[in-house]
Structure 1
Amino acid sequence: MSKEIRQHIERIVPLTDNEFDFVLSHFTPKKFKKHQFLIQESNYVPHDFWVIKGLVKAYHSDIDGKEHIMQFAMEDWWVTDYQAYFNQTKATLNVSCLEDTEVLCLSLENRDKICAELHKVEHFFRKKSNAGFVSLQRRILSLLNSNARERYEQFLVQYPNLLQRVPKTLIASYLGVSRETLSRFSSL
């Protein structure tokens, strides 16, 4: 676990052993079972989660109970309800496990402490946030400008590992298409 998070951080910023020990001391490891929630709508969001092992989905349920999947997060990915996490408000998203999952949890208070102490870690989080903004913009533009088939093909290119791990109904929800439409694409 510690080796993986260190490698993750050091892809962007190098850390001494002492710096890494300081950073790691602010994370809490946690395990969740398949179908368990990391975050539930209407609850406060105490952590940002870095996935060590497993797979989760972040989604919003509309007034009719339909799930709209915002994000999948697997090993080496971060996930939370960022609006609620940074504003310390109640969640508008659910984050639940599609597999048994192990995460490292980071509270906003601990994140702020690490960043205040080690500016290179603040740089790391800024780079990760920027990458997230780019990814989100790409996703929104894809939903606005691409047809269903194009979105499916983009998904295959961007996330080939997820196709084997995520049920087709959830991929369809992520892409904004029906399960039947997705079946037609995947049978070609």
Structure 2
Amino acid sequence: MSTILRHHIEEITPVSDEEFDYILSHFKPKTLRKHQFLVQAGSLVDEDYFVTEGLLKSYYTNDQGKEHILQFAMKNWWITDYQAYFKRVAATTDIDCLEPCQVLCLSLHNRDKLCADLQKIEHFFRVKSNLGYVALQRRILSLLDQDAQGRYEQLIALYPSLLQRVPKTTLAAYLGVSRETLSRLH
């Protein structure tokens, strides 16, 4: 798990062995089963999660019971309910495991401490946040501007492994289409 995190950090900034040991001491590992919740709507969210193994989905369920998938997270991705994490409010999303998962958990307190103590980690999180904004904008624009076929083709181009790992019903919910429409798109 720690090797994956170190490589992830070093894609943006180098760290010494001593620095990485210090960084790692602020994380705690967690193992989850398939279908286990990492975050549940209505709960407080104390941690951001770095995925070292498995696949998760973050979703919102509306008043009519319809599930809207916001994102998937696989190895080397971060996931949490960011509004709840940063603003200290109840979560509005659920995050559960589509596969058995291993994550490294980082509390907001520990994140702030790491950023205060190591400028390069503050830089790392700034770059990761900016890349997250870019991905979110791309996702929103695809929902606003592309038809179902375009969203499907973009998903395949960006994340080809998801087609084998995610049930068709779940992929359809991510794309905002019915399962029947998804079947016609391949």
TM-score of the superposed pair, with normalisation by structure 1: 0.98
**Deviations along 1:96-120, whole A, 9 cap, x unmatched?**
0001100000000000000000010
Q: Describe the SS at the equivalent of 1:84.
A: helix
Residue 64 of structure 1: how far off its partner (Å)? 1.2
User: Separation in 2 of the partners of 1:166 and 1:160?
Assistant: 11
> In structure 2, what is the equivalent of residue 168 of structure 1?
168
User: Separation in 2 of the partners of 1:12 and 1:27?
Assistant: 19
Is 1:130 the counterpart of 2:134? The answer is no
> In structure 1, what is the equivalent of residue 28 of structure 2?
28
> In structure 2, what is the equivalent of residue 37 of structure 1?
37
**Deviations along 1:160-188, whole A, 9 cap, x unmatched?**
011110011111000101100000012xx
**Deviations along 1:120-175, whole A, 9 cap, x unmatched?**
00000000000000000010000000001000000000000111100111110001
Query: Taking every aligned residue pair, what percent have the same amino acid on both sides?
Result: 61
Residue 65 of structure 1: how far off its partner (Å)? 1.1
> In structure 1, what is the equivalent of residue 153 of structure 2?
153
TM-score of the superposed pair, with normalisation by structure 2: 0.99
User: Separation in 1 of the partners of 2:147 and 2:2?
Assistant: 42
> In structure 2, what is the equivalent of residue 111 of structure 1?
111
Runs of 4+ in 1 over 6 A off after TM superposition: none
Is 1:68 the counterpart of 2:68? The answer is yes
Give unpaired runs (5+ residues) of structure 2: none
Letter in 1 for 2:173: S
Output the aligned Cα RMSD.
0.5
Q: Describe the SS at the equivalent of 2:34.
A: coil
Count of matched residue pairs: 186
User: Separation in 2 of the partners of 1:47 and 1:92?
Assistant: 15
User: Separation in 1 of the partners of 2:179 and 2:47?
Assistant: 33
Give unpaired runs (5+ residues) of structure 1: none
User: Separation in 2 of the partners of 1:12 and 1:3?
Assistant: 15
User: Separation in 1 of the partners of 2:167 and 2:85?
Assistant: 28
Residue 74 of structure 1: how far off its partner (Å)? 0.6
